[in-house]
Structure 1
Amino acid sequence: MALIKDIAKVCKSKNAGPFELTIDVVFDDPELYCKVKATGVLSAELIASLYSVSPNAVQFTPYDAGMAFKATLPRAVPAGDIGDTDVYGAQQHAPLLDVDIPV
């Protein structure tokens, strides 16, 4: 088992407009990327469970050419609205960092 924070080159989040977040997990080793993809751990269901949204609300895309996974999901609070603690969405990737991947 390996944590995403230990095996991914990049794990980041950002706004995808005021109402959505995009999370990117990028690898720099094609073999490792393929192993991670084959486990099926990174998925819309995982993102939905970590961020308390419906799996149907998560657009999840493995991007083989970039050795990356991208997820877009609704923000809990619109960017800049009362109660928003991360207007740029730049700290929302943290729940993924400690996900175990059986590689």
Structure 2
Amino acid sequence: MSEPDRPRTIADLAREVRSKNAGPFWVTMELFMRDAAGYATVADPAYLDAPVIARLYDVAADTIQIFRIPELNVVKISFPRPVVQGSLRDRDIHAGQHHVPLALFPLPVA
């Protein structure tokens, strides 16, 4: 793969990166990786862990739950919503845009 074609973000390796409500108090993000190699990259706790998610989303690391599902090449991440779904300050009632910082997260340098 030439330098310009080299994957640079999680989105480059994923079939889909999405976020959604997990009830009115939680957000869940799912990384559906194209293959086992992409899964191995993003599922590696040395690369993607609770402190990384905490920095990306300004949430406490001890509230983050990460589920790694190798049989499906999926990583699922859940954390408390910044505001309750549907409340006055909720700007994304379906949590449909929360995945963007994670999708654009840079891959580790080889």
Given the two structures, how large is their TM-score scaled by the length of structure 2?
0.85
Say yes or no: does 1:89 pair with 2:95: yes
Q: Give the counterpart letter for 1:73 in structure 2.
A: F
Kindly report structure 1 stretches of 4+ aligned residues shifted beyond 4 Å: none
Q: What is residue 55 of structure 1 aligned with on the other side?
A: 61
What amino acid is the match of 1:100? P
The equivalent of 1:15 in structure 2 is: 21
Displacement of 1:65 in angstroms is 1.2
Task: State the secondary structure of the residue aligned to 1:14.
Answer: strand
What is the identity percentage for the equivalent residue pairs of Structure 1 and Structure 2? 33
Q: CA deviation at 1:63?
A: 1.0
Structure 1 residue runs of 5 or longer lacking an equivalent are: none
Matched, 1:32 2:31: no
State whether structure 2 residue 11 is matched by structure 1 residue 2: no
Unpaired runs of 5+ in structure 2? 1-6
| SS of corresponding position for 2:39 | helix
- Counterpart Cα distance in 1 of 2:35 and 2:87: 39
Structure-1-length-normalised TM-score: 0.90
> Greater shift after overlay, 78-87 or 36-45?
36-45
Structure 1 position 6, deviation (Å): 1.2
What are the within-5 Å matches in structure 2 for residues 69-84 of structure 1? 69-84=75-90
Query: How many pairs are equivalent?
Result: 103
Secondary structure at the aligned position of 2:88 is classed as coil
> Which structure: larger Rg?
2
What residue number does 1:67 align with? 73
